[in-house]
């Protein structure tokens, strides 16, 4: 948890000004925009559309045909017209198997969409947190800059009255410039993070709203609980299981793929010559002879699809377990170190700061010792912020791993 000093600085830095009514984005807004406007998600969804079109194509059976045939003999004058309706009949399981294979591709494409959406949301939240962290760094450095500027003013006035030394003024001014540079660096980092976030959500960086948030993180639950939740909620796993089930069905459906194609035709036969006309019928049945092609292509495709779906599901499962375990360990470690470090440094730093300030006023401490104490305090607060950022990043990664970001 970010300590009270950092929390107060963040609150002050993000309070809306009276002169500005600019809209603000919270974490919820960032997630919503990343989900709806990401180009990566749109591209993945287009892949699903392509796979779905292939599925539709694979499910179609042969169309019938209507034909007209004419024979003419000029001497003696005689002709014959045949109007024929032809219907191919596929009694094999090829169409069913090909449709199932196409459905496997669609399910796998849906898994890619789920992964792309979660990745985009996680990247957007990381950029959002980077902007919040940069603002915290700026507020922390600005607070230190204000204190040092005031101290330099006091020392200059003392020097003008004949009290103090020029060395103290110069040393304070150098420290002021160092901290001012930190302020500028934090401002640049915030602008870069906002630009990154704008590019992720497809927004012009100049129109990026004010960002409001914090770096709070949650205590991680037990690993078993988190893994069970991930198995239930990760949409990639759901799509992977669906693909595996469909692929197994496709592999089972190829047993009748060797059955031959039967073509049936029937029609009217109209014959005439110089003396009379006659009306009859014409019909035929054609059966394909399965010599070179006996459905082995469909069988191989179905088996390959089943192998691919099972391998992809196993890879997703392993990846999810690894993501959950790593993110949980990082979150627990960062939060534990933040609590330990804060508990160890807070009372000591307060005592050091008071001793240095009172000692300098009484002439028992030099300006170097005073600045060393202030710098130690600043570095401690900066280190706490770094640990809070690490915990927050791990928390977002854990939410991604357990399927919360979707």
CATH code of the domain containing 318: 1.20.1600.10
Of the pLDDT bands very low, low, confident and very high (cuts 50, 70, 90), residue 259 is: confident
Residue 392 lies in a domain: yes
Closest CA to 265 of 280, 281, 279, 283: 283
Residue 22 lies in a domain: no
Regarding whether 217 and 205 lie in a shared domain, the answer is yes
How far is CA 404 from each of CA 52, 132, 353, rounded to the nearest angstrom? 27, 21, 44
Name the helix (H) or strand (E) containing 285.
Answer: strand 277-287
Regarding whether 363 and 289 lie in a shared domain, the answer is no
Regarding whether 286 and 253 lie in a shared domain, the answer is no
User: Which domain does 101 fall in, by range?
Assistant: 31-60+92-258+294-401
Residue 76 has pLDDT above 80, yes or no: no
Regarding whether 99 and 171 lie in a shared domain, the answer is yes
Query: What's residue 360's pLDDT?
Result: 67
Taking the C-alpha atoms of residue 345 and residue 340, their distance in angstroms, rounded to an integer, is 9
Residue 53 has pLDDT above 50, yes or no: yes
* Final residue before a domain boundary, out of 247, 273, 293: 293
Phi, psi (5° rounding) for residue 219? -65, 130
Per-state percent for the chain, helix, strand, coil, to nearest 5: 70, 10, 20
pTM, 2 dp: 0.77
Query: What's residue 321's pLDDT?
Result: 95
Query: What's residue 299's pLDDT?
Result: 86
Number of domains into which the chain is organized: 2
Residue 78 lies in a domain: yes
Residue 212 lies in a domain: yes
Regarding whether 226 and 330 lie in a shared domain, the answer is yes
Residue 8 lies in a domain: no
Regarding whether 362 and 232 lie in a shared domain, the answer is yes
Collapsed DSSP state (helix, strand, coil) of residue 366 = coil
Name the helix (H) or strand (E) containing 206.
Answer: none
Regarding whether 350 and 374 lie in a shared domain, the answer is yes
Helix 4-14 crosses helix 94-160 at what angle (to 10 degrees)?
Answer: 100
Whether the Cβ atoms of residue 133 and residue 385 lie closer than 8 Å to each other: yes
Q: Cα angle vertex 354, ends 146, 386, to 5°?
A: 60
Regarding whether 103 and 85 lie in a shared domain, the answer is no
Of the pLDDT bands very low, low, confident and very high (cuts 50, 70, 90), residue 295 is: confident
Whether the Cβ atoms of residue 392 and residue 215 lie closer than 8 Å to each other: yes
Taking the C-alpha atoms of residue 308 and residue 247, their distance in angstroms, rounded to an integer, is 9
Of the pLDDT bands very low, low, confident and very high (cuts 50, 70, 90), residue 365 is: low
Regarding whether 160 and 79 lie in a shared domain, the answer is no
Residue 19 lies in a domain: no
Regarding whether 96 and 114 lie in a shared domain, the answer is yes
Looking at residue 253, the DSSP 8-state letter turns out to be G
């Amino acid at each position: 948890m970010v300590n009270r000093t950092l929390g107060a600085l963040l609150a002050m830095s993000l309070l809306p000004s009276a002169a500005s009514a600019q809209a603000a984005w919270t974490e919820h807004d960032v997630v919503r925009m990343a989900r709806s406007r990401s180009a990566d998600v749109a591209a993945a969804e287009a892949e699903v559309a392509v796979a779905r079109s292939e599925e539709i194509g694979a499910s179609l059976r042969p169309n019938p045909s209507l034909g007209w045939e004419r024979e003419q003999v000029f001497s003696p004058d005689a002709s014959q017209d045949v109007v024929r309706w032809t219907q191919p009949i596929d009694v094999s399981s090829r169409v069913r198997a090909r449709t199932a294979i196409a459905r496997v591709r669609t399910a796998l494409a849906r898994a890619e969409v789920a992964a792309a959406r979660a990745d985009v949301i996680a990247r957007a939240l990381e950029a959002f947190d980077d902007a919040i962290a940069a603002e915290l760094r700026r507020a922390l450095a600005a607070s230190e800059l204000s204190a040092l500027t005031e101290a330099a003013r006091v020392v200059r006035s003392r020097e003008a009255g004949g009290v103090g030394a020029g060395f103290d003024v110069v040393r304070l001014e150098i420290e002021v410039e160092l901290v001012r540079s930190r302020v500028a660096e934090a401002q640049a980092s915030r602008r870069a993070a906002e630009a990154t976030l704008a590019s992720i959500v497809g927004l012009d960086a100049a129109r990026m709203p004010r960002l409001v948030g914090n770096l709070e993180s949650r205590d991680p639950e037990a690993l078993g609980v988190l893994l069970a939740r991930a198995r239930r909620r990760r949409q990639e796993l759901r799509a992977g299981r669906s693909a595996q089930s469909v692929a197994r069905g496709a592999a089972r459906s190829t047993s009748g793929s060797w059955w031959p194609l039967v073509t049936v035709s029937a029609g009217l036969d109209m014959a005439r010559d110089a003396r009379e006309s006659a009306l009859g019928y014409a019909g035929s049945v054609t059966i394909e002879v399965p010599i070179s092609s006996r459905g082995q292509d469909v069988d191989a495709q179905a088996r390959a699809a089943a192998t691919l779906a099972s391998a992809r599901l196993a890879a997703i499962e392993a990846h999810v377990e690894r993501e959950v375990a790593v993110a949980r360990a990082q979150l627990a470690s960062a939060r534990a170190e933040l609590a330990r470090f804060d508990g160890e440094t807070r009372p000591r730093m307060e005592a050091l700061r008071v001793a240095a300030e009172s000692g300098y006023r009484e002439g028992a401490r030099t300006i170097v010792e005073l600045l060393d104490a202030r710098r130690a305090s600043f570095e401690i607060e900066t280190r706490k912020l770094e640990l809070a950022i690490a915990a927050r990043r791990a928390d977002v990664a854990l939410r991604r791993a357990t399927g919360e970001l979707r």
